[in-house]
Amino acid sequence: MVTTDLSTQPAPTQPPAPTSGKPRVVKDSRAYRSFRFVNAFVLIVVCGLVLYPFVNIVAQAFSSEGAINSGSVNLVPRGFNLTTFQVVLGDDMFWRNYRNTVVYTVVATAIAMALTTTYAYALSRRGLKGRKFFIGAAVATMFFNGGLIPNYVLISELGLRNTIWAIVLPNAISVFNLLVMKSFFENFPSELEEAAAIDGMTTYGVFFRVVLPLSKAVVATMLLFYAVSFWNAWFGAFLYMDDPRLYPVTMYLRNLLAGVTSGTSIQGGSTDNLTQIAANVQSVTMLLTVLPIICLYPFIQRYFVSGVMLGAVKQ
Amino acid sequence: MSSVQEPVVAGVAPPGAPPPVGVAENAPPPVGTKPPRQPRRRRNQEWTTPGGVVVRPPRTTWRQALKRDWRLYSFLVLPLLFLLVFRYLPILGNVVAFRRFRPGSSIFGDEWVGLYYVRMFINDQQFWHAFTNTVVLGLLTLVIVFPLPIILALMLNELRSRRFKRSVQTISYLPHFMSVVIVAGIVFQLTSVNGTINQIITSLGGDAVTFMQEPSWFRTIYLSSEVWQTVGWGTILYLAALTTIDDQLYEASRIDGANRWQQTWHITLPGIRPTMVVLLILNIGTFMAVGFEKILLLQNPLIYSTADVISTYLYRVGIVSNSVSYATAIGLFEALIGVTLVLSANAISRKTVGASLW
């Protein structure tokens, strides 16, 4: 098992790694120099293509419907106005659904963290009898799962439809996150735990007062993994919720896209006039939905990357 | 806890003394009558050193383990209950593929009907249509979406400015964090009649295309959105693998006169091959489940001829039309293909390139 330093960036040093400043022994060939130029150019274009849709959303969100309908909105807002924001923010259902998203995310993340950390900690104890079996029980579900319909029937039979539990329970343990945490706990210095045990701490004390406080990095990473996935989720609500007042905001947006709320057919993109008018509302809703993630993104991105790396070490 | 890992020295056993607790059935015979010990002893079997010390290997009964580690086992209760209810019960629930299911009956259905539903989908034209679309989309994803992160990682690897490199990474990871609903919204927006793509087409003198109503465009649109969302994030593992390649290999190859392209081909690519293989196997495993949620959001009846895949078809059959057993049979078939694909991909790669998942 290799330990990775969480703080290191995935950015590797260059393979040839010429120390800057010193004269280089071998000069780059002309072909390679032109390649580097093209390479940098292509990467800039890639970044532009990745960012463009976001810029477009912002531009549409602040544009007038007339400008959108005439097809003149791309990079900057045309006919700047905030009326759509007022419409969306004035919609009680939007606020209700937004609040639902926050509640679902918080509750689901709390449950997921409780189950994942405890399970991962128990699995990381090499002396635990039956450890292999308990690991296998989790890993097997990565490759075999019940499938859509049996899950749907189960949730319905358990009477969880139209309750928060239908959303927060079924995805409480992500096996990937579990394995990441397990390998982290396995590399936890056992001297600390032994010292705490000698001082008379029970397993509970060791876990809650020694191990967890010293595992903030991996706990934060897992927290973010779960929180983002629950924030983005929509399908559980789509399947199990009949009452629009229980929807998360992603379902609010989905119904806008599908044209459900504007009374058109169930599918999006059919009558271009209505969807085009809706495009303005859609852009505003999309912007408000992704806003928390975009705002947090610069700070959380590093944690995600380190989490993926930690998981990769397992392989 | 850690004491379990090392063999426990149970102390000198005087002849005739009661054997240590928990190993009664394997109690050592009295010293005098001891037969010569075989050199190879099985794991987990207790043994006596020449000095007469009984060494108890780390084997404990469940009772002992529970008594000692009950707090640790208490950590397992809820997660195991979760796995049992929300993971293993649905797996068992697949028996309704072979049983009749009525609303209100138990999750395992009412009565056996054998292969009735299997025969039903084998004769279902629409199913085979969805099947073909799934295979086509899956193959296109493997051929087009899978290699792009490798190329992007190699391109990033050629950058010398770390700041530039980090900026490209930060930007290209961003779409990964977007909800699939947002991605669908972006697709609708860009492809709408007055959207950016049609703005470009009309400014070049073409006629606006109603992209989301043309079956011929769906695959292109789906794959583009897939590339947009996954290409950056997909580079992480490759970039990590690239850092592990030994610099000396590059130095040696330069001395031998290899140019950059030859270095990439003969050192870099073989260096990241294990990562490529593992990710390929994992991708093959999700081959049949191609982007279910995204396709469900993007499709509409006008483009079913290319956009309907097995998972969306069984969603309509099972949940919209309520044919639970029939949809389960289709789902089971899909899952079996998926498992078969993973296992065979894994076996093939183990034989040919020596890399495998397990």
- Beta bridge mates, B12: B53
Question: What local confidence, expressed as pLDDT, does residue B151 receive?
Answer: 95
A69 near B CB under 8 A: yes
Question: What local confidence, expressed as pLDDT, does residue B49 receive?
Answer: 67
Domain extent at residue B216:
118-352
Residue of B152, B166, B213 with shortest CB distance to A11: B166
CB pair distance less than 8 Å for A147 and B242: no
- With a cut of 50, say whether residue A21 has pLDDT above it: no
Which phi and psi angles does A6 have, rounded to 5°? -65, -30
Residue of A12, A207, A234 with shortest CB distance to B181: A234
Note whether B170 and B208 are same-domain residues: yes
Residue of B177, B245, B324 with shortest CB distance to A297: B177
Out of A41-55, A146-160, A298-312, B3-17, give the one with best mean pLDDT: A41-55
- With a cut of 60, say whether residue B287 has pLDDT above it: yes
CB pair distance less than 8 Å for A152 and B318: yes
| B contacts of A228 (beta carbons < 8 Å) | 177
CB pair distance less than 8 Å for A146 and B191: no
Residue A77 binned pLDDT confidence (cut-offs 50, 70, 90): confident
B335 near A CB under 8 A: yes
B250 near A CB under 8 A: yes
How much is the mean pLDDT over chain B? 82
Note whether B294 and B331 are same-domain residues: yes
The SS3 assignment for A120 reads helix
**B40 falls within a domain:** no
Note whether B108 and B20 are same-domain residues: no
Q: What is the CATH number of the domain that holds B263?
A: 1.10.3720.10
Predicted confidence (pLDDT) per residue in B306-339, tens digit: 999 999 999 999 989 888 889 999 999 998 898 8
| B contacts of A304 (beta carbons < 8 Å) | 173, 177
Predicted confidence (pLDDT) per residue in B41-80, tens digit: 555 556 666 666 766 665 678 888 888 888 889 999 999 9
| A contacts of B101 (beta carbons < 8 Å) | 153
Nearest residue on chain B to A251, alpha-carbon basis: B181
| B contacts of A278 (beta carbons < 8 Å) | none
Per-residue tokens: B115: 């292969």
- Beta bridge mates, B47: B55
Average pLDDT (B183-192) is 91
B280 near A CB under 8 A: no
Residue of A36, A43, A57 with shortest CB distance to B186: A57
Measured at the CA of B237, the angle between CA B232 and CA B238, to 5 degrees, comes to 80
Domain boundaries, chain A: 30-81, 85-314
Predicted confidence (pLDDT) per residue in B227-279, tens digit: 999 999 999 889 988 988 888 999 999 899 888 888 999 999 999 988 898 88
**B358 falls within a domain:** no
- Beta bridge mates, B53: B12
Name the DSSP class of A57. Answer: H
**B37 falls within a domain:** no
Question: What local confidence, expressed as pLDDT, does residue B57 receive?
Answer: 61
Residue of A15, A118, A312 with shortest CB distance to B79: A118
**B38 falls within a domain:** no
Residue B18 or residue B354, greater confidence: B354
pLDDT more than 90, % of chain B: 40
pLDDT more than 90, % of chain A: 36
CB pair distance less than 8 Å for B278 and A150: no
Note whether B83 and B216 are same-domain residues: no
d(Cα B309, Cα B132) in Å, to the nearest integer? 8
- With a cut of 50, say whether residue B353 has pLDDT above it: yes
B60 near A CB under 8 A: yes
Note whether B224 and B150 are same-domain residues: yes
Average pLDDT (B346-351) is 86
- With a cut of 60, say whether residue A69 has pLDDT above it: yes
Average pLDDT (A1-22) is 43
CB pair distance less than 8 Å for B182 and A289: yes
Residue of B101, B159, B178 with shortest CB distance to A290: B178
Residue A87 binned pLDDT confidence (cut-offs 50, 70, 90): confident
Nearest residue on chain A to B106, alpha-carbon basis: A157
Predicted confidence (pLDDT) per residue in A216-226, tens digit: 888 988 898 89
A54 near B CB under 8 A: yes
Greatest Cα pair distance in chain B? 103
Note whether B70 and B200 are same-domain residues: no
Nearest residue on chain B to A75, alpha-carbon basis: B196
Question: What local confidence, expressed as pLDDT, does residue A263 receive?
Answer: 37
CB A167, CB A104: distance < 8 Å: yes
B162 near A CB under 8 A: yes
User: For chain B, how many structural domains are there in total?
Assistant: 3
d(Cα B87, Cα A180) in Å, to the nearest integer? 20
CATH of A85-314, one of 1.10.3720.10, 3.40.50.10780, 3.60.70.12, 1.10.10.10: 1.10.3720.10
Residue B101 binned pLDDT confidence (cut-offs 50, 70, 90): confident
A34 near B CB under 8 A: no
B71 near A CB under 8 A: yes
- With a cut of 70, say whether residue B5 has pLDDT above it: no
Nearest residue on chain A to B310, alpha-carbon basis: A148
Predicted confidence (pLDDT) per residue in B142-183, tens digit: 999 999 999 999 999 989 898 999 999 999 999 999 999 999
Best residue of A45, A119, A129 to probe chain B, by most B CBs closer than 10 Å:
A129
Residue A81 or residue A132, greater confidence: A132
The SS3 assignment for A270 reads coil
Note whether B154 and B258 are same-domain residues: yes
Note whether B98 and B188 are same-domain residues: no
A276 near B CB under 8 A: yes
Best residue of A36, A44, A133, A153 to probe chain B, by most B CBs closer than 10 Å:
A153
Question: What local confidence, expressed as pLDDT, does residue B240 receive?
Answer: 87
CB pair distance less than 8 Å for A49 and B228: yes
- With a cut of 60, say whether residue B305 has pLDDT above it: yes
Note whether B107 and B199 are same-domain residues: no
B331 near A CB under 8 A: yes
Question: What local confidence, expressed as pLDDT, does residue A120 receive?
Answer: 94
Residue B40 binned pLDDT confidence (cut-offs 50, 70, 90): low
CB pair distance less than 8 Å for B69 and A125: yes
Residue A46 or residue A281, greater confidence: A46
Note whether B306 and B291 are same-domain residues: yes
Residue of A17, A54, A143 with shortest CB distance to B342: A143
A76 near B CB under 8 A: no
- Reported ipTM: the value is 0.82
CB pair distance less than 8 Å for A232 and B96: no
In this prediction the pTM is 0.81
B200 near A CB under 8 A: no
Of chain A residues 112-171, which have a CB less than 8 A from chain B?
114-116, 118-119, 121-122, 125-130, 134, 137-138, 141, 143-154, 157-158, 169-170
B1 near A CB under 8 A: yes
The residue from B114, B132, B154 where one domain ends is B114
Residue B82 or residue A203, greater confidence: B82
CB pair distance less than 8 Å for B186 and A53: yes
Average pLDDT (B81-95) is 92
Predicted confidence (pLDDT) per residue in A224-263, tens digit: 889 999 999 999 999 999 999 999 999 999 988 887 544 3
Note whether B108 and B195 are same-domain residues: no
B152 near A CB under 8 A: yes
3-state helix/strand/coil string of chain B:
CHHHHCCEEEEECCCCCCCCCCCHHHCCCCHHHCCCCCCCCCCCCCEECCCCEEEECCCCCHHHHHHHHHHHHHHHHHHHHHHHHHHHHHHHHHHHHHEECCCCCCCCCCEECCCHHHHHHHCCHHHHHHHHHHHHHHHHHHHHHCHHHHHHHHHHHCCCCHHHHHHHHHHHHHHHHCCHHHHHHHHHHHHCCCCHHHHHHHHCCCCCCCHHHCHHHHHHHHHHHHHHHHCCCCHHHHHHHHHCCCHHHHHHHHHCCCCHHHHHHHHHHHHCHHHHHHHHHHHHHCHHHCCHHHHHHHCCHHHHHHHCCHHHHHHHHHHHCCCHHHHHHHHHHHHHHHHHHHHHHHHHHHHHCCCCCC
Note whether B20 and B138 are same-domain residues: no
**B281 falls within a domain:** yes
CB pair distance less than 8 Å for A40 and B189: no
